[in-house]
Every structure is written in structure tokens, then in C-alpha cells.
Chain A
Amino acid sequence: EVQLMESGGDLVMPGGSLRLSCAASGFSASNAWMNWVRQVPGKGLEWVGRIKTKGDGGATFYAAPIKGRFTISRDDSKNIVYLQMDSLKSEDTGVYYCTSGEVGYAHDGYWGQGTRVTVSS
């Protein structure tokens, strides 16, 4: 069974940093493009960024509001994907989800339960 589990959410002050982890099980994350999506409480879904497989070059792409502040990486030996968040702002507050790819592979289309990030002084 494909499962994704995020961790690392916390209360952090503006300007601070946080690293979120997404542990994959039931499949090899090394074969999957992985995404991060966030949601401000009571609002819609916002795509944060994506990392390709190493086989596809491992490229990352980020949404404009977080570009230059957030970094997605992967440790395929541990089956974990990370979201490093620096220079955090109050508007980064929300629930962060990791998701597997969007197309039709058996491991695609799954979401974790989310981890909550609160940026406040």
C-alpha cells in the first residue's frame, strides 16, 4: 500500500527556518516525481514545488511565492523527500502536503496526511 507521511511542522518565528520530511512507504520514491502542496486554513490548495527522479535529471521547480526561499531535495536511500523552508513569512502558514506524481504510474496520485506550519511571533 502506497503511503506518504509528512513530519516536521512546527511553530516558527518570521525569518526562521524549518525542514519538513515526507517518508514514503509501499513504493520506491526514487521512481516518482514528488510534489509539495500547501493549504492555508479555510482556503484552497497551492502547489509549492516538485522534484523529478534522478533518472529524469532530479530537476526541481518552485512556485513564484517561495522561489529562492524553499528547497526540495530527496534521499532515495531513505525513501524520503524534504522541503527546506528558509526566510519564513507569516503567509507561509498552513498545512503542507507531500504528493506523488500526477500521471498514471501505480505510485502516482497519493497524498500524505499533512503537517502544520505556523509562522508567527
Chain B
Amino acid sequence: DIQMTQSPSSLSASVGDRVTITCRASQDIRNHLGWYQQRPGKAPKRLLYGASTLHSGVPSRFSGSGSGTEFTLTISSLQPEDFATYYCLQYNSDPRTFGQGTRVDIK
């Protein structure tokens, strides 16, 4: 199985900050990676797929990059509604696997 490792596991930031989260795959997954946001008590929502393509309706302050084994999610200017947990998901092969999550808290 492909292991997905996210870093950091948590971070504290202020509104307006630029935030970057990294996801590393244990083997080459090309660009078959998605990013998901989960607010407390809510279902996850997809932010990006194909490593860098925004899901419909997602604000442009979210962006993604990377291919192969290293990927990043960037929030260019953190907004109050962005305080949540973020997960990466590889869909290059079965079983699909998630990263362990990165919790973004208010500083």
C-alpha cells in the first residue's frame, strides 16, 4: 500500500497568513492526489484534484502543486472559515490512502 505522510500534523496561524501543508507519498503517484478540508463536525469537502486543479466553487486562495512523491497545499491568505483539518488522498492505486491530516488552528 502507498503511505501518505503529511506535515506538519498541526499548525497555528493568524488570519491573513500564508499557510503551506506538505504531503509525501511512499512511491510515485504521478499527479493523482486530492486535497480535502474538514471543518469540525462536518463532512470533508474536496478542494483540489490532479494535485493542482481546483474543485468547482473552491476559492482561488487555495492552490496545489507537486507530482511524483511530493505535494503541497497552499492557502495564500488564511480566512476565518479556513480553520479546519486538511487531508491529502492518493488515488493512483488501490487501496486509496489518506494522509493523517493537518489541523490548522487560530493563533
Contacts and interface: CB of A to CB of B under 8 A. Distances in A.
Interface of B is mostly: loop
A114 B95 contact: no
Interface in B53-89: 53, 55-56, 87, 89
B96 A47 contact: yes
B44 A97 contact: yes
A46 B98 contact: yes
A102 B101 contact: no
A50 B94 contact: yes
Nearest to B93: A61
Interface in A91-117: 97, 102-104, 106, 108-114
Contacts of A104: 49-50, 53
24 contacts: A44-B87, A44-B99, A44-B100, A45-B38, A45-B98, A45-B101, A46-B98, A47-B95, A47-B98, A50-B94, A50-B96, A61-B94, A64-B1, A102-B34, A102-B89, A104-B50, A104-B53, A108-B49, A109-B34, A110-B46, A111-B44, A111-B45, A113-B43, A114-B43
